[in-house]
Structure 1
Amino acid sequence: MAQRLVTDRLLLRTWELEDAAAAFRVFGHAEVARWLSPIMDQVPNQEAMQVLLRQWIIEDLRAEPPTGRWCIQRRDDDAVLGGAALLPLPPGGDDLEIGAQLHPSAWHQGYATEATHALAQWAFRQDVDELYAVVRPDNTRAVSAVRRNGMEWVGETSKYFGQTMQLYRLRPADLTQAQPGALPPGFEDE
C-alpha cells in the first residue's frame, strides 16, 4: 500500500473509488493525456476512471514498497490535483520511474516538484539507489520539475516505451543537493 506522505501544501495518499470524478477531471483532460501517451490513453468517461481506479487500488495493495500510485491532494482545501507514481519501467521492471500528472489548473505552481520530491525522499529511505523520469522531448513542464529535484539528463532512449524519450536519473545525493525552488537556466516554470 502506498505510504501516506505530507508536504507543506500537499497530501499524497492512496486513491479511493470516491475520487473517480476528480481523477477523471485530470486523466480525462486532453492536455494531460497528450503527455501520457504511449503509457496511458485519455480516460473517456467517469465510469472508465472508476474501473481504472479500482485496478490501481488493487495493484497498490499488492505492490512492494516503494512502488505505488498516489492521489495528490491540496491540504488547504482537499482538492484533488492529480496523481503521482513510483512504478517499475518496462520491459524488465529493473528501473523505477517517478512521475506526477496534474490538472492544468494546478500547473505552474510547483506542485509536481513538491510531490515528486516527497516521493523521491521516501523511496530513498526504502534503499532505492536511483529513480528515473521518462519524459517526452517537448514536455518542458516535466523537464522543469525533474530538474528542480536534481535529476540529471542521461540521454535519449527508446528502451522503455518504443519511442524516443528523454531520460533523467536521480540519486540520493542529487536530491540532497537540489534546491526545489531554483529553476535551471533555460527552463520554464512548471
Structure 2
Amino acid sequence: MTAVTNELTTSRLTLRGWRVEDAPAALEVYGRAEVTRWLSPEMDRVPDVRAMKLLLQQWIAESARLPAPSGRWAVVRDADGLLVGGAHLLPLPPGQEDLEVGWQLRPDTWGYGYATETMHVLAGWAFGHDMDEVFAVVRPGNARASSTVRKNGMHWVGESGKYFGLDLQVFRLRMADLDAAAPTSPGPPGVD
C-alpha cells in the first residue's frame, strides 16, 4: 500500500510517500521521546513496530485522500538510503483552510540542515500549487524548530491557542520570503 504523494527532491534528500515496510526505520523517529515531545497532543511516542505499521497505514490512506499539495512524506537521505524522518503539509484546524508545514527527524541526524532542506522543498511544493502562504506551529521552547523556520524565511505572527488547545507560536511564510531564504550548502552540524 503506497500513497499517491508526489516525490520531492533536494540536493541531498528525497521526500517520498510512506510505505508500511518503513515501520522499523520510522520507529527510529516516532518512537523517540525527544522527537514526539514537540508534536501535537494527538501524537504520542509510538511504542513498537506493530503500532508504527498501523500509524503508517493511516498516514498512507490520509495522503491518498488529501488534495495536492497536502500530504505526508518519508524523508530519505540519498547518500545511503537512510530514512532520516518524516514531513507533512496538512490542513490546520479549526478551519482547515491554511496549510501547516512540519517535519520530524531522527535525533542522530539533527544539525545537518535536513530540516531546513525539507521545509524549503515542501514550501516550494505548496507555492507551486497556488498556495499564498504556509504556516508552522511551534511549541514554546522548541529552539530547533524556531531556528529552522526562521532560516527558511518564516516570520513570527504571534501565539495562538486555537491549535489543539495549546498556546503555540505561529510562523508564516510567503513565496517571496522563501525565495530570499534559499538554503545554502550544508555545513557542519549546528542548531538545525
CA distance in 2, matches of 1:79, 1:92: 36
Q: 68-77 vs 30-39, which deviates more?
A: 30-39
> Matches of 1:37 and 1:181 in 2, distance apart?
30
Q: 1:39 to 1:113 in 2, by over 3 A?
A: farther
Unaligned runs of 5+ in 1: 183-187
Residue of 33, 38, 47 corresponding to 1:35: 38
Distance 2:87 2:130 in 1: 20
Shift of 1:181: 4.0
Three-state SS of the structure 2 residue aligned to 1:85 is: strand
1:71 to 71, 74, 97: 74
Q: Runs of 4+ in structure 1 displaced over 2 angstroms? A: 179-182
Paired residue secondary structure (1:44): coil
Structure 1 length-normalised TM: 0.94
State the superposition RMSD in angstroms.
1.3
Task: Please tell me whether the aligned partners of residues 65 and 126 of structure 1 are also in contact (alpha carbons under 8 angstroms).
Answer: yes
| 2:145 paired with 1:142 | yes
Answer yes or no: is 1:168 the counterpart of 2:171: yes
Instruction: Report the alpha carbon displacement of residue 179 of structure 1 after superposing the two structures with TM.
Output: 4.2
Percent of aligned pairs with the same amino acid: 56
Q: Unaligned 5+ residue runs, structure 2?
A: none
State the alpha-carbon separation in 2 of the partners of residues 39 and 149 from structure 1: 26
Q: May I ask how many residue pairs the two structures share in their alignment?
A: 185
Structure 1 equivalent of residue 191 of structure 2: 189
For the Cα contact (< 8 Å) 2:40–2:164, is it kept in 1? no
SS in 2 for 1:49: helix
CA distance in 2, matches of 1:168, 1:73: 26
Q: Match for residue 185 of structure 1? A: none
> Alpha-carbon deviation of 1:25?
1.1
Residue aligning to 2:12: 9
**Which SS does the other structure have where 1:77 is aligned?**
coil
Report the CA distance between 1:29 and its aligned residue.
Answer: 0.6
**For the Cα contact (< 8 Å) 2:12–2:78, is it kept in 1?**
yes
TM-score (norm 2): 0.93
Cα deviations across residues 98-118 of structure 1 (Å, max 9, x unaligned)?
010001001011000001100
CA contact (8 A) 1:148 1:181 kept: no
